[in-house]
Chain A
Amino acid sequence: MDEIIWVEVLSKHRDVVARYRCSGPEIHIGRGYDNDVVVDDPYVAPVHICVARDERGALVATDLGSANGLFSDKDVARMERIAIEDDDVVRIGRTYLRIREAKHAVAPERILKPSHTRSWITVFYLTMTLLGMSAISAWFGETIEPKLSHYIFPMLATAFITLVWTALWAILSRVFSSHANFEANLLIALKGFLLFSLCDVLVDYVAFSFSLGALFTYEYVAAWLLFAAICFFHLRAIGLSRLRLKGGAVAVLAVIAIATQTLVQSENNSSKYQQSYVRRLKPPAFRLVPQKSEPAFFSSVEELKAKLDKARTDEPISDGIFGGSDSDD
């Protein structure tokens, strides 16, 4: 019986490095040239394994007496024989192999994304929006003599940062997946940065409209989450494999960043971190929260007193080398 069996040599990341078309019923794999598949791995024996069908017709890999043995990807124990199933990966020496029959079912054909030009149009619109936002924010912030450079510089900076960021991911993508994917990465970067600016503006206006100065204190949480999301989408553009791992790693990094910043803020007593009030005023028309009466305002103010009195003894003393030495009151 002359059947076709494919032996695939995989990289550490389980990408196919080489693929050998072999004819059964028995395939020998090893470093020697008398094998059907020759593996250039010094940790592989001249004749390492043999793949053949057992009495029930299933493919089985058998160790032919190698020193380093045969391993299944699912197990750490050395095996004498491994019954090959569809997606199983076996390891000999430092080489990963996947053995598939010709009848192996492949995933259905993926639909090609809409034509190139259309996504460049999206890129164009997103770029314009991003630059437009930067120009508007420069315009609203311009309280001195108007100058063209006040607009050009922020716009150029935005464009430059976006391009550098995209290029960085394109290089990573090229290294790990052989595609630079510049266009996809650019789209992700543009969308991400647009969200960043939107978030900033939104926090600004919501803080004013609802008189919630404390919002600024926590703006960094949103910023880090957004940053993590952007990184995740870039990683996803590199390859669809191991999405959970990528998501997990990005989430862990975001959590670490947020936790660290929270810690720094909670321990830092400097005025930079403690004066949380609406410092960026907006036109009065943007007020959304009802006005309080004066007595109501001062009664809220009175409530602060109890918190301050509690903090006198509870709050840790954190700054200064000698902080904490003085507590004889």
Chain B
Amino acid sequence: MQKILALMMLAICIGSANAENVPQSPSLPTQPPLSPTAENIYAEARPKLLQIRTLLDVAGRQSSLGSGFLVSADGLAVTNYHVVSQHALDPKTYRLEYLTTNGSHGALTLLAIDVINDLAVVRLDKPDQSVFEFNKRALDGGLSKGERVYSMGNPLDLGFTIVEGTYNGLVEKSFNERIHFSGAINAGMSGGPAVTSDGRIVGINVAKQVSGELVSFLVPAHFAAALVERAKSTKPLVLANVRTDIGRQLGTWQDGFYKAIADQGFRLATFGPYKAPESNAAWLNCWAETNADQVPKPRATVDVTNCHTDTWFFIANDLNTGPIDFSHSYVKSVDLNQFQFATFLSQRYQLPWLGSASSKRYTRQRCHEDFVAAADSNTRPPVHTVWCARAYREFEGLYDVSLLVVTQDRSNEALVSRLGMRGVSYSSAVALATRFLGAIQWTK
């Protein structure tokens, strides 16, 4: 389980107030000299780079930091949504400011956001002639693995930096497109550009994997190009309606996601006398666990399969949503009596963890539970089922839902299945849960 949690921990590369506490050591480890290409790229890119700061309006002090880059001569720049999220959600408390490499600064206006791809388009208070261009091959998905990619940004508020790394294609087993970049992206570089050796954009720095080394992620350039087009052609975002906008984006995305899961279909995996559904979708990460090797010998055996998607979306520090996870635990008594077995089973009968329970973000969770018998009792076991759901206060029509099922046909073995859905419409949740529950079978 720890393995999985560690893998799920994608750190979002945003500088926070903590970054300021990083001691600015005068003797930073000396890097090997960069290749002349990097030198040239940086010289070329320097005027187009921005540091994007979120300031606490009252204090005028930075509350978080990120990077950004200019993309059009009328002063449009691209960054990550998570870099500007505080301002987007609470414009009265936070304002945005940019800082260029030569030290000039000014105000930023938020024009458009894409929470699914963690992108935002902002407008500078003055136009600028030098801008980045998107890499045509990257837009068409024509880059090849191993190509040199240079990522730029301002890590930990230490100054603008260029990092050399390699393009490693799109992340496999991911529903949302992300470029796997093997290079050091650090907090504060979020929203900065990643370019090929011709200085054209292939992606936007977004995250790194804490549990890995130099495993970083970029948002593919075509999402940014599309958002820039949208920002140019439609009216700018009205901050008062930003939640409606975010809710709509999440809603549209989850419609597609849940449809894709349904379309991919389920196959049945065997657990002792039971059969339980597992998704055919390639973008589910599944792991298995057992207690068979435990010492002393366990008094009930547990075999667990659990699967999750990595479709996390950052909305605010205490609001991350998106993924689905499910698990099946097959528990069989070795020498426990039926009461002890029930106690043992109870330890597994826990709702999936859905994330923080901030009452500012979510309603109280409400549950419904019942003993449920299927119409066809020859193929389907009787179960006890719990359904718990909470609504998102800020986004109408979105809920976090968990389903918990335990078979009730035998007193010495059972299957506990759990399904967790975040940021889902109620109807999609009911549809998937019905299918999930309906697929739990037994052989008498």
Interface residues of B in 413-431 (CB under 8 A from A): 426, 430
| B350, B373, B399: the one within 8 Å of A308 (CB) | B399
Across the interface, do A140 and B357 meet the contact criterion of CB distance under 8 Å?
A: no
What is the distance, in angstroms, from A269's C-beta to the closest C-beta of chain B?
4
Across the interface, do B393 and A143 meet the contact criterion of CB distance under 8 Å?
A: no
Across the interface, do B346 and A319 meet the contact criterion of CB distance under 8 Å?
A: no
Residue B39, interface by CB 8 Å: no
Closest A residue by C-beta to B365: A274
Across the interface, do A269 and B339 meet the contact criterion of CB distance under 8 Å?
A: no
Instruction: Kindly state the separation between the CA atoms of A144 and B346 in the bound complex, as whole angstroms.
Output: 14
- Report which residue of B89, B240, B340, B351 has the largest number of chain A beta carbons within 10 angstroms of its beta carbon: B340
Q: Place the interface of chain B in its size category.
A: 35 or more
What is the distance, in angstroms, from A270's C-beta to the closest C-beta of chain B?
6
Across the interface, do B411 and A279 meet the contact criterion of CB distance under 8 Å?
A: no
Across the interface, do A312 and B363 meet the contact criterion of CB distance under 8 Å?
A: yes
Interface residues of B in 343-393 (CB under 8 A from A): 343-347, 349-351, 357-360, 363-375, 382, 384-393
Residues of A within 8 A of B388 (CB): 275, 277
Beyond A274-B364, A281-B406, A284-B409, is A143–B300 a contact (Cβ under 8 Å)? yes
Residue A318, interface by CB 8 Å: yes
| A283, A296, A329: the one within 8 Å of B394 (CB) | A329
Instruction: Kindly state the separation between the CA atoms of A329 and B394 in the bound complex, as whole angstroms.
Output: 6
| A319, A328, A329: the one within 8 Å of B359 (CB) | A319
Instruction: Kindly state the separation between the CA atoms of A329 and B346 in the bound complex, as whole angstroms.
Output: 40
Residue A315, interface by CB 8 Å: yes
Q: Place the interface of chain A in its size category.
A: 35 or more
Residue B408, interface by CB 8 Å: yes
Across the interface, do A283 and B391 meet the contact criterion of CB distance under 8 Å?
A: no
Q: Please classify the interface of chain A as helix (H, G, I), strand (E, B), loop, or mixed, using the class held by over half of its residues.
A: loop
Beyond A271-B365, A311-B391, is A326–B351 a contact (Cβ under 8 Å)? no
Across the interface, do A304 and B389 meet the contact criterion of CB distance under 8 Å?
A: yes
**Chain A, 283-303, contact with B by CB distance < 8 Å: what is the 0/1 string?**
111010111111011101111
Across the interface, do A323 and B342 meet the contact criterion of CB distance under 8 Å?
A: no
Please list the residues of chain B having a beta carbon within 8 angstroms of any beta carbon in chain A: 89-90, 240, 243-244, 296, 299-300, 336, 338-347, 349-351, 357-360, 363-375, 382, 384-394, 396, 399, 404, 406, 408-411, 426, 430, 433-434, 437-438
Question: What are 28 residue pairs bridging A and B, where the CB atoms are less than 8 Å apart in the complex?
Answer: A139-B339, A140-B343, A141-B340, A143-B300, A143-B343, A144-B296, A269-B359, A269-B364, A270-B357, A274-B365, A276-B367, A277-B404, A279-B349, A283-B411, A292-B370, A293-B372, A293-B374, A294-B434, A297-B368, A305-B399, A305-B426, A308-B391, A309-B391, A311-B363, A317-B360, A318-B359, A320-B359, A329-B244
Knowing that A281-B342, A304-B389 are A-B contacts, what are 18 other residue pairs whose CB atoms are under 8 Å apart, sorted by A's residue number?
A: A140-B340, A142-B340, A143-B344, A213-B367, A274-B364, A274-B365, A280-B346, A283-B411, A287-B371, A292-B372, A292-B373, A311-B366, A311-B391, A312-B392, A315-B359, A318-B359, A319-B360, A326-B89
Q: Which 4 A-B pairs have the closest CB atoms?
A: A291-B373, A269-B359, A311-B363, A308-B391
